[in-house]
Amino acid sequence: MTTTLRVRRPTARAKTDLVLPATAGGPARRWQQRYSVGLCVTDSVIICAAIALAQYLRFGESPATSGYPGQLMTLFSILFAGLWMAAIAVSHSRSPRIIGAGIDEYRRIASASFWTFGIIAMTTLLAKIDLARGYLAVALPVGTFGLLVGRNLWRRYIARKRARGRFQTMVVAIGDRPGVTSLAQELMRNPRDGYIVVGVGIPGYGQSRGKTILVEDRAIPILGDENHAMAALAGRGVDMVVITGTERFGASGLRKLMWRLENLDVDLVVAPGVMDVAESRLALRPVAGFSLLHVEKPRYHGAKSFQKRTFDFCFSLAALIGAAPVLAVVALAIKCTSRGPVFYPSERIGIDGTPFTMLKFRTMVDRADTQVGNLAALDEGAGVLFKIRDDPRVTAVGKVLRRFSIDELPQFINVLKQDMSVVGPRPPLRREVESYDGEVTRRLLVKPGVTGLWQVSGRSDLSWEEAVRLDLSYVDNWSMTADLLIIARTIRAVLSRDGAY
């Protein structure tokens, strides 16, 4: 029978008790296995449905119209589905390591799909098989889209369960106090990530003294030093041990630790100490018997830059043309309901510190910026940002425009003028830039964006430090794939109106 060990809150500040399942390791394995089986079933159904649809649309009810015997065509469809499923399995898209990872999971699905069709295309070409191109043209996009939608629905399901305290990965962190505190903060920042730090070990601490560290209003017990923390693993349902500093263990100690955790069915993870670095910039390379983590330099120029400029021009032009009726109606509404110009020109600082005039629809009364001094007591902004949730200067039309971010549509004109990009850091004011320290100035290495990580992560609700961190992460790791994902998330954020005021 499974029992639980409950760690009581030592102070009134800790709002949640920690419950440690007293199973013999691997409690996450069971739900991960069920999840993987569910993914396999869903993938199989989607692939078979996509191929059956493609065969029906191209050849009708009789596969014999393909020019080959019906049984042969049906056999080909079965082999086609098997190859596609095998490619997805080989891509490890159902690995527990990427559960809920989002972009990496989607990338593996898309890559496996295109590899499947590449193999089929080469095989039919070399074997001189005249297979109807329309058959593949239907199966590829329909199947790939269906697989991506299926994974998204599964991720939403997992996120809901994790938000309710289920499908969690129990973690014990070992390292110095600042290191394990920072790690616990990052792991438990978002409950939908599914990590709970249930204990920490601090080298040199000795035996457990009943003390705790407080992270995210949660009291985490200090289990003692690294040896006492390891001794406390048995029977506590721990899934993962994370080491934030390896110097205490040494090469021999880490090897023994791996063997010990292997017997307990507990994963070992070594935190390299780098944050906000994309996976594409990380490479593990064995050198002279040591595994070294190589971090590639950020890339701001060259082919990637040309690709981004081309995308910016095409996307902004399409956005302005598609939104032309909305732009006309909004301009008329602003002009008819309040005095002043339709557009609000604002000086912003762009790439390499170059100032430019950013355009927005005017959402406040005319000359609203002259009233900032009188409203300083109402400022709710973070850091150097000036924000008021219920700003008295906002007009009735302006409230609607801000709620749905329609006031930002004219910024696509700035994108066409190459002052801005579709995706990038938040465009800063001159007074903000003048207060930047050496680290924050890295935001100016790329063009500011109409949207960005700040837009899809809370907008006005973000702290200044978090907004800066997101912008710097984007600058160091930007890619076209990330841009497309941010645009998709922006649409969802605008519709949900998160942090918009």
Q: Please state the domain extents for the chain.
A: 4-27+165-295, 29-163, 303-496
**Residue 404 to residue 419: CA distance in whole angstroms:** 23
Residue 68: predicted pLDDT? 56
Residue 357 has phi, psi (to 5 degrees) of -100, 115
Report the topology of domain 4-27+165-295.
Answer: Rossmann fold (3.40.50)
Instruction: Tell me the chain's radius of gyration from C-alpha atoms.
Output: 27
- Residue 467 has which token pair? 């907004």
Q: Is the pTM of this model over 0.75?
A: no
**Residue 157 to residue 430: CA distance in whole angstroms:** 44
Distance of CA 314 to the CA centre of its chain: 25
The structure tokens 């990330």 sit at 482
**Residue 185 to residue 215: CA distance in whole angstroms:** 6
Residue 319: predicted pLDDT? 93
**Residue 92 to residue 104: CA distance in whole angstroms:** 11
**Residue 393 to residue 311: CA distance in whole angstroms:** 36
Residue 2: predicted pLDDT? 32
Residue 22: predicted pLDDT? 37
pLDDT tens string, the chain, 501 residues long: the values are 333 223 333 333 333 333 333 333 455 667 888 888 899 999 999 999 998 888 888 776 665 555 555 567 778 888 889 999 999 999 888 887 777 666 778 888 989 999 988 888 787 777 666 666 677 888 888 999 999 999 989 988 888 888 888 888 889 999 888 888 888 888 888 787 888 898 898 988 888 888 888 887 788 999 988 888 888 886 667 888 998 877 777 777 788 888 888 888 888 888 876 666 666 677 777 766 667 777 776 666 655 678 888 999 999 999 999 999 999 999 999 999 888 899 999 899 999 889 999 999 998 888 777 666 666 656 555 555 556 667 778 888 988 888 888 999 999 999 999 999 999 988 888 888 888 877 788 888 889 999 988 778 765 566 777 778 888 888 888 878 788 888 888 887 777 665 554
For 418-450, give the DSSP string.
Answer: TSSEEE-SPPPPHHHHHT--TTGGGGGGS--EE
Q: Which of 186, 264, 256 is nearest to 232 (CA)?
A: 264
**Residue 176 to residue 248: CA distance in whole angstroms:** 10
Are the C-beta atoms of 414 and 356 separated by less than 8 Å?
yes
- Residue 164 has which token pair? 């309710």
Contacts of residue 485, Cβ cutoff 8 Å, sequence gap at least 6? 102, 103
Residue 5: predicted pLDDT? 29
Are the C-beta atoms of 342 and 335 separated by less than 8 Å?
yes
**Residue 109 to residue 112: CA distance in whole angstroms:** 5
Burial class (CB within 10 angstroms; exposed 0-12, middle 13-18, buried 19+) of 125: exposed
